[in-house]
Structure 1
Amino acid sequence: MESILSTLMSTSTSTISTTEALLYGMGASILGFVISLTYIKTGTVSKNFARTLIILPFLVCMVMLAVNGNFGTSLAVVGAFSLVRFRSLQGSSRDIGFIFFAMTIGIICAVGQMPLAVIVTAIICGIHFVLNGIGYAAKEAGEKDLRVTIPENLDYSDIFDDIFERFTLSHKQIAVRTTNMGSMYEINYRVRLISEENEKDFLDEIRMRNGNLTVVCGRCDMNEAEEL
């Protein structure tokens, strides 16, 4: 540990030319591009986030090199970046993981350990591709999120049970909440349809039962906030 710290401190206090800094930054951007491709190929994609992953390692590397007279200060500045709350859609744990991934690569490039940065990028990207390929912890195929609105005078406990028996392989009530100032209930179910071709008939049956109020059926992650 002492040898690693001494190496980092000596790297941070040494004079780095503009050309060397730009080379480190370009290397970080190339690895950021690889990270961005991994993000695109292994899950749901946000265009702006994918582009940010290319830029982030370069910025982190430049900040580290700009304050290379004090390694502790450079880490503090980079750490402050992680405290910034972006005014956008709520990020998932996957997005946060990729942010830390990109920042780590930027830091490794800044201390001049380009071979290590390439190895770390290859290992982490490989893990993502393997987990995505085998479907690790993926939701069961065909499972959908069903949200049904009913008037407050209806008993929601078993109102759709007969419809579920005819159209679904499985169903489970996830949550119930009041809406429209308490005059209606919104019920959230997790369902697996027997046949995707009968989805319209399934929704029509529910609409006739709930008085033609709002019915939403889609992917399980459509409106779902992912927990860390």
Structure 2
Amino acid sequence: MNILSDFLTFPPLITMGTDALRLLLAFVLGVFIVNIYRWTHAGIPQKSFTDTLIILCMLISVVMVIIGDSIARAFSLVGALSIIRFRTAIQDPRDIGFVFYALAVGMAIGAGNPSVAVLAAFLIGIIILGIYHWHENFSNDNEFSLEFCLPPEPSFKTVYRPVFDRHLIYERLIEKRIRKSGVVELNYRVKLETPQDWLVFFNELSNIESVTDVKLDKE
């Protein structure tokens, strides 16, 4: 009963103002995290994922404010959130890191430690930028991540081999998955014999009738 009365008690204007500032700070730092992600992401970032990072940062700050020092509220929220099922598979481990990045910053804001949130957001962001530029300067130009799909019939398993043999000096199958539609999805790490011919390689592979959803990203 005390928990219910606590929830129904209208907070003073000062508290509401503080909570509004926390939400605003969570939004600003969420946008900062998204910009770090965009600057360091290989390829075109998914808009839905970048939007989710901002929303997560704000939501977790609200959750931390609601929990406060109440263990009962914490267990109530865990029970309520346990009904959510996350079915979207995050393929890039780096994206998982950014999810925790946003969650950690949001938790710091909601727990009443805005200085920790700001410091962590900027320091982690600077480190991520540094790692990105380090990879840019020392990475091998002919290494690529390749993803494409094939029909499930065995006869299509080798249709891409002539293109591979013409352009690649190295290939390694990273992942093979079968989608619900039955289509086979292949993920390779490859090295091109001539890095400048990446577009030719991409076009030749895409022009094969049975090969679909071709994606080629620089490692």
**Range of TM-score over shorter length:** 0.5 to 0.7
SS in 2 for 1:54: helix
RMSD of aligned alpha carbons: 4.5
Aligned residues of 1:29 and 1:57 also touching (Cα < 8 A): yes
| Aligned equivalent of 2:49 | 49
1:193/1:72 CA distance change after superposition, 3 Å: farther
Aligned residues of 1:64 and 1:78 also touching (Cα < 8 A): no
2:91 pairs with 1:95: no
Letter of the structure 2 residue corresponding to residue 33 of structure 1: V
2:171 pairs with 1:172: yes
CA positional deviation for 1:213: 5.5
Aligned residues of 1:63 and 1:78 also touching (Cα < 8 A): no
Number of residues paired by the alignment?
190
1:176/1:71 CA distance change after superposition, 3 Å: closer
CA deviation map 1:77-112 (0-9, x unaligned): 379759844454645322221111111111111122
Letter of the structure 2 residue corresponding to residue 170 of structure 1: I
Aligned residues of 2:68 and 2:111 also touching (Cα < 8 A): no
1:35/1:83 CA distance change after superposition, 3 Å: farther
CA positional deviation for 1:168: 3.2
Find the partner of 1:214 among 174, 196, 210. Answer: 210
Aligned residues of 1:172 and 1:191 also touching (Cα < 8 A): yes
Structure 1 CA distance for aligned equivalents of residues 32 and 15 of structure 2: 26
List gaps (5 residues or longer) in structure 2.
1-11, 179-183
Aligned residues of 1:28 and 1:58 also touching (Cα < 8 A): yes
1:67/1:143 CA distance change after superposition, 3 Å: closer
Select the structure that is richer in helix: 2
Instruction: Flag the structure with larger Rg.
Output: 1
| TM norm structure 2 | 0.63
List gaps (5 residues or longer) in structure 1.
1-14, 180-184, 222-228
| TM norm structure 1 | 0.61
- Percent identity at matched positions? 23
Find the partner of 1:27 among 20, 25, 28. Answer: 25
Structure 2 CA distance for aligned equivalents of residues 213 and 109 of structure 1: 52
1:79/1:50 CA distance change after superposition, 3 Å: farther
SS in 2 for 1:115: helix
Structure 2 CA distance for aligned equivalents of residues 18 and 196 of structure 1: 59
Worse-matched range after superposition: 46-55 or 120-129 = 46-55
| Aligned equivalent of 1:130 | 130
SS in 1 for 2:115: helix
